[in-house]
Amino acid sequence: MNPGRFITLEGGEGAGKSTQLRALAAALRAGGLEVVETREPGGSEGAEAIRAMLLTGGDDRWSPRAEALMFAAARADHIEKTIRPALARGAWVLSDRFLDSSRAYQGQGDLDDADILTLHALGSAGFLPDRTLFLQLPAEQAEARALIRDGTASDRIGGRDRDFHRAVAAAFVRFATTEPERIRTIDASGDAADVTGRLLAALADLLP
Ligand code: TYD
């Protein structure tokens, strides 16, 4: 049996992660792999319940610390109930967002990157993807796409201001620079099929 692989797609709002995840899953399935498509926050019954609490309500519904703990709790359930069982049967698991989103979104305010990694060590024994694909778009393009998609601000977190989202984008760039083996930066601009091709190329060495 081929080993299962855990692949995550990361990036800011409007980078096209969800569309690309579907296209990537279809391409891998065409190659004969079993593929599980999932997302964070969510991806298991418990984690989807936490998602609803995280993404709805007013700005101040959760403190930054409570929010970070809830993302970590959702992730622990997602890994245990969905990701590990799929990997154990040899499937490829593609997740729309994972730990690096918590590092980028929750790890630069009251908490820092080391705090988020500590929560992940406690909640999920530090479990990491085999590869992370960081979809990068110039800020102006990402902002334009996010507006087209959402009309206005999206959810509790997506609706934060431009400075916040620029800091998130900068954090992803930092992670990709410090962990080049796990995290590959993918140019998310241009034709969608070309982007899918770049994603596949960044997984070539993991394919059976
Ligand atoms: P989602 O609808 O999946 O947004 P997108 O289409 O932009 O991926 O909502 C997820 C939101 O939650 C998004 O604004 C990013 C945020 N988020 C965090 O702040 N921390 C996390 O750990 C994760 C997984 C998501």
Q: Note the pLDDT tens digit of each residue in 76-131.
A: 999 999 999 999 999 999 999 999 999 999 999 999 999 999 999 999 999 999 99
CATH number of the 5-206 domain: 3.40.50.300
Q: Which atom of ligand 1 is nearest to the CA of 157?
A: 14
Q: How far is CA 15 from CA 97, 113, 139, 199, in A?
A: 12, 23, 10, 13
Cα–Cα distance between 205 and 5 in angstroms, integer? Answer: 12
Cα–Cα distance between 70 and 119 in angstroms, integer? Answer: 10
Ligand 1: list residues with CB < 6 Å: 13, 17-18, 39-41, 55, 71, 96-97, 101-102, 105-106, 155, 157-158
Q: Note the pLDDT tens digit of each residue in 130-168.
A: 999 999 998 888 888 877 676 555 789 988 999 999 999
State the distance from the centre of ligand 1 to the C-alpha of 178, rounded, in angstroms: 22
Q: How far is CA 196 from CA 35, 51, 167, in A?
A: 16, 27, 26
Cis ω on the peptide bond leading into residue 129 (within 30° of 0)? Answer: no
State the distance from the centre of ligand 1 to the C-alpha of 99, rounded, in angstroms: 11
Cα–Cα distance between 35 and 27 in angstroms, integer? Answer: 10
State the distance from the centre of ligand 1 to the C-alpha of 1, rounded, in angstroms: 33
Q: Note the pLDDT tens digit of each residue in 116-134.
A: 999 999 999 999 999 999 9
State the distance from the centre of ligand 1 to the C-alpha of 64, rounded, in angstroms: 15
Question: Are 43 and 82 spatial neighbours (Cβ–Cβ below 8 Å)?
Answer: yes
Q: C-alpha 10: how far from its chain's center?
A: 4
The helix-helix angle for 45-55 and 64-78 (nearest 10°) equals 160
Question: Are 91 and 39 spatial neighbours (Cβ–Cβ below 8 Å)?
Answer: no
User: Tokens 């406690």 belong to which residue?
Assistant: 122
pTM: 0.96
Nearest Cα neighbor of 9 from 91, 131, 96, 93 is 96
For ligand 1, mutation pick of 39, 98, 157, 162 (most atoms within 8 Å of CB): 157
Q: Note the pLDDT tens digit of each residue in 172-197.
A: 999 999 999 999 999 999 999 999 99
Cα–Cα distance between 81 and 112 in angstroms, integer? Answer: 28
Domain ranges of the chain: 5-206
